[in-house]
Structure 1
Amino acid sequence: MHLIECLMRVIEAGSINRAAGELGLTQPALSRRIDMLEHDLGMPLLVRKPRGVALTPAGELLMEHARPLLRQAEILRDAMGQRVRSHVSIGLPFSLHHIVTVPFTVRELKASSPMSLRVYEGFVHHLHQWMSQGVIDVGVMEYRGVHDTDQHWGPVIREPLLLVGCQRDDLDLGGEVRPEQLERIRMILPGRPNIIRHALDDHLNRRGLRLTDVIDVETVPLCLSLAAEGLGHTVMPYSAFHKQYAAGRLHAVPIRNLYVSWAVYVHEARRHVDGVSRIANRLREFMVARVHDGQWQMAQAINT
């Protein structure tokens, strides 16, 4: 397990040198550990490049299966009392990076706390997978309604989805975008199964409409960058682009009756662990405070 943890730290750091510094090892010592792991498994796991490292296909397969195993080992060590600090892993969607993830993480790291916090970011479908595997204890994911069988820690944060384009765009949409107007607009959108793409497609399908000109892009920042260059429009919540909006690089118009709702979820097996419940409560309270103090514009906190 220790050798696999070393490999994971190398991938997270992006280079053996940086990972060695974080682990308090010399670069040759960490390289020897990676070599030992590759020798034990009988196959290369890393490709050394001029500007860092990358996983081989075998390394990608190992990491895919190793994350939940490492997390379960960490939980077991906590339960057996071998660590004084409680380890809590949280996951948040890319779109909340600036409005929630960064300020919440900064606040928690500055606090004097007996907990060790690990933060993951990903698309929402990845967060669902990581929670089912036990990789994360707490996750901010889309709220799936009152019949949701998983336990969420309310309230729900609801924010409108907006059509986003560059400031110099001369598209005249008025103060609100109607669904039928979207059909004739070139769209730059995250590929499926992204929840924003799913919400937009479902919104149009229910009205017998569909998008006719779509550029599929795999990341939220790239969608926004291409929209800022005037290559098309994207659809995002305000939380995903508020800094570019404040800087005047983008403009946005709400799409009629189209929203995304966020809720804090807790892994079923970990919800009664004190550290996990405290982080979940603090994250929920932090999100609500961002709405109430005006930092999270256009969003509403709704009790469910």
Structure 2
Amino acid sequence: MYDPTRLAALVAVAEAGSITRAAARLGYTAPALSQQLAKLEREAGAPLLVRHHRGARLTAAGELLAERARRVLDEMDRARHELARLSGLAGGRLRVATFTTVGIHLLPPVLSAFRRAHPDVELTVAEYEPPDGVTAVARGAVDLALTHAYEPAEPASPPPGVVVETLLVEELVLITAPGHALAGGSGRLPVSALAGQPLISSAPAHPPRKGVEGALAEAGATPAVVCESPGYALVCALVSAGIGVAVVPEMVATMSATPLQIRQLEPAAFRRTISVAHRGEESGPAAQSLRALLRSSFGRAGQQGTAARVW
């Protein structure tokens, strides 16, 4: 019988691409997570990971076990939600933090399902720009928070007592005005092709994007317009008007209200991870039920690709 904690560790490494990043997301140290994975390999009787200078990748046995593990973990999440529903959750309060993109496009149907299942729970929603929502969970201002992190960036460990679980991983893509020269052609566009282009930048007002902005700068794409708002609606509007080009999450690009053209980049190392932060076993039944709904609705990262397919 496989330990669910170890199965979750394997899935986290599959999603994050390295033990260090997976440990940061799960709230472990890298050595502690490595120990869990070593025990799982002994249980499986086969190597599950190949470590390399850029991180770790799963072996064929690891891929097979990770696929089954996702199903097991999803079923456990559904069971938690159904048990919470059976308990009635009569009364109580659930405080949720979110950021704009998810709050508009992905969270409402999940909260609607929660409301149907638990009509007596008082529900409040507040907007926190990441990583402020994680801090709000740590200090007890909210029960759970939807947050995000960008790659490339230095992995950040959550505050003590806070667990951060991955819900969805999406690529960052290039957006341009319709008919722009960079929008043509097939295949991925090398990041180096952005050199000399007027780039609409979210830095320095958007700290989570600093790693991405730095990598773009190394490729020669220097900001021509600095957009101080962390909201992507304004960035998309400026790009659509031909002011410049931008690199944004695929969900943002596909759901933009203004006309844009989208192109994937090479290398495909620019990503945004959307996660839920909570207080682990200290979370109340309402928070556990909503987490189960989030995982069921968003799906597990790495299972179906990018957010254009809304997991």
Provide the TM-score with structure 1 as the length reference. 0.58
Give ranges in structure 1 of 5+ residues lacking alignment: 1-82
How far apart are 1:183 and its partner, in Å? 3.0
Corresponding residue of 1:275: 286
* Pick aligned residue for 2:188 from 151, 155, 176: 176
How far apart are 1:117 and its partner, in Å? 1.6
Aligned partners of 2:149 and 2:273 also within 8 Å: yes
Decide which structure has the larger Cα Rg and report it: 1
Corresponding residue of 2:248: 236
How far apart are 1:130 and its partner, in Å? 2.6
How far apart are 1:259 and its partner, in Å? 0.8
Indicate how the Cα distance of structure 1 residues 112 and 88 shifts in structure 2: closer, same or farther if over 3 A, else same.
Answer: closer
| Aligned AA (1:214) | V
Moved more, 283-292 or 86-95: 283-292
How far apart are 1:160 and its partner, in Å? 0.3
Corresponding residue of 2:81: none
| Residue aligned with 1:134, SS | coil
Corresponding residue of 1:139: 145
Asked if residue 252 in structure 1 is aligned to residue 262 in structure 2, the reply is yes
Corresponding residue of 2:9: none
How far apart are 1:295 and its partner, in Å? 9.6
Indicate how the Cα distance of structure 1 residues 242 and 98 shifts in structure 2: closer, same or farther if over 3 A, else same.
Answer: farther
Indicate how the Cα distance of structure 1 residues 229 and 109 shifts in structure 2: closer, same or farther if over 3 A, else same.
Answer: farther
Moved more, 138-147 or 181-190: 138-147
Q: Distance in 1 between matches of 2:98 and 2:179?
A: 32
Q: Distance in 2 between matches of 1:94 and 1:152?
A: 21
| Residue aligned with 1:157, SS | strand
Q: Distance in 2 between matches of 1:116 and 1:289?
A: 28
| Residue aligned with 1:297, SS | helix
Q: Distance in 2 between matches of 1:141 and 1:186?
A: 29
How far apart are 1:170 and its partner, in Å? 2.8
Give ranges in structure 2 of 5+ residues lacking alignment: 1-88
**Cα shift readout 1:207-233 (whole Å, capped 9, x = no counterpart):** 474514233231221111111222112
Corresponding residue of 2:109: 103
Q: Distance in 1 between matches of 2:96 and 2:163?
A: 14
How far apart are 1:299 and its partner, in Å? 6.8
Paired residue total = 214
Indicate how the Cα distance of structure 1 residues 143 and 222 shifts in structure 2: closer, same or farther if over 3 A, else same.
Answer: closer
How far apart are 1:154 and its partner, in Å? 3.9
How far apart are 1:241 and its partner, in Å? 3.5
Indicate how the Cα distance of structure 1 residues 212 and 231 shifts in structure 2: closer, same or farther if over 3 A, else same.
Answer: closer
* Pick aligned residue for 1:118 from 116, 124, 133: 124
How far apart are 1:238 and its partner, in Å? 1.8
Q: Distance in 2 between matches of 1:209 and 1:221?
A: 25
Matches within 5 A, 1:42-191: 85-142=91-148, 148-149=157-158, 151-152=162-163, 154-172=165-183, 174=185, 175-191=187-203
Asked if residue 296 in structure 1 is aligned to residue 302 in structure 2, the reply is no
Aligned partners of 1:291 and 1:299 also within 8 Å: no
| Aligned AA (1:253) | R
**Cα shift readout 1:22-47 (whole Å, capped 9, x = no counterpart):** xxxxxxxxxxxxxxxxxxxxxxxxxx
Q: Distance in 1 between matches of 2:248 and 2:121?
A: 33
How far apart are 1:202 and its partner, in Å? 3.4
Provide the TM-score with structure 2 as the length reference. 0.57
Q: Distance in 1 between matches of 2:240 and 2:291?
A: 35
Moved more, 144-153 or 90-99: 144-153
Q: Distance in 1 between matches of 2:253 and 2:111?
A: 19
Question: How large is the Cα RMSD of the aligned pairs?
Answer: 3.5
How many percent identity over aligned positions?
A: 14
How far apart are 1:102 and its partner, in Å? 2.6
| Residue aligned with 1:127, SS | helix
Corresponding residue of 2:298: 287
| Residue aligned with 2:109, SS | helix
Q: Distance in 1 between matches of 2:124 and 2:283?
A: 19
Q: Distance in 1 between matches of 2:270 and 2:255?
A: 22
| Aligned AA (2:113) | R
Aligned partners of 1:264 and 1:284 also within 8 Å: no
How far apart are 1:87 and its partner, in Å? 0.9
